[in-house]
Amino acid sequence: MQVNIGEIKDTKGGEIRFRLVEDWSELYLDGQSVHFASPVVFTGRVTATGEVFLVRGTVATDIETTCARCLSPVRVSIKADVDERFRMASHAGGTGSASDREDENDDWRQEDVQEFRGLTIQLDDVVLENLLVSLPIKVLCQEGCRGLCPQCGKDLNVGECDCTIDDINPRMAKLGQLLNGED
């Protein structure tokens, strides 16, 4: 995903609106596969503020993953707001007095500003970062998902299993016997 800022690069207050659509299909992150079930759509605008280009908009897609409790496939819609700042890489070597450049460099360090070269801002990393931050920590197929039986592995959402679950801690077995009237 990229946007060309050529028409606004010298116009303070200039703005470009865009809608970018890309099919990312499968993505591998840290050995994990993320399957995009729909194209990634980024709708936004780039505004030139003089030195910095503000990229603001919304990115949306659907991913396919598995339920954290029963491991059934789940489709999750993700939507993230993007608000990033970019500056041209050649800006640091601009004209002006040394003290002006030092003040500007201090401002750049304080802000989270990314650099780009040429007239095209690459947005893939920014979009991916914002999508990943928006992923739910724990995805469930339904609010009351009962998960899998810890003994036989049957999906408890489909029906009950015949397993008897004895969750008594062996250190408390003697107390259980006393409470049940056993000696």
Both 133 and 159 in a single domain?
Answer: no
Give the domain range for residue 123: 2-144
In which band, very low, low, confident or very high, does the pLDDT at 13 lie, cut at 50, 70 and 90? confident
pLDDT of 81 reads 92
The stretch 120-148 carries a mean pLDDT of: 87
Q: Greater confidence, 114 or 105?
A: 114
Radius of gyration of the chain measured on its C-alpha atoms: 27
Q: What is the rounded CA–CA span in Å between residue 52 and residue 13? A: 11
Give kind and range of the element (H or E) at residue 131: helix 124-134
Q: What is the rounded CA–CA span in Å between residue 1 and residue 44? A: 12
Both 150 and 139 in a single domain?
Answer: no
Both 177 and 91 in a single domain?
Answer: no
Both 129 and 173 in a single domain?
Answer: no
Both 122 and 161 in a single domain?
Answer: no
Between CA 83 and CA 119, with CA 1 as vertex, the angle to 5 degrees is: 80
In which band, very low, low, confident or very high, does the pLDDT at 164 lie, cut at 50, 70 and 90? confident
CB 86 within 8 A of CB 115: yes
Bridge partners, 34 (sequence order): 27
Both 127 and 166 in a single domain?
Answer: no
Predicted model pTM: 0.67
Both 50 and 74 in a single domain?
Answer: yes
Both 19 and 88 in a single domain?
Answer: yes
Both 32 and 44 in a single domain?
Answer: yes
Both 98 and 81 in a single domain?
Answer: yes
Q: What is the rounded CA–CA span in Å between residue 89 and residue 85? A: 13
Residue 41 has pLDDT above 70, yes or no: yes
Both 133 and 56 in a single domain?
Answer: yes
Both 44 and 125 in a single domain?
Answer: yes
Beta strands in the chain (DSSP E): 2-4, 15-22, 26-29, 32-36, 40-48, 53-66, 73-88, 113-116, 120-122
Q: How many other CB atoms sit within 10 Å of the CB of residue 47?
A: 18
Domains held by the chain: number: 2
Q: Which residue has the tokens 């709708």?
A: 43
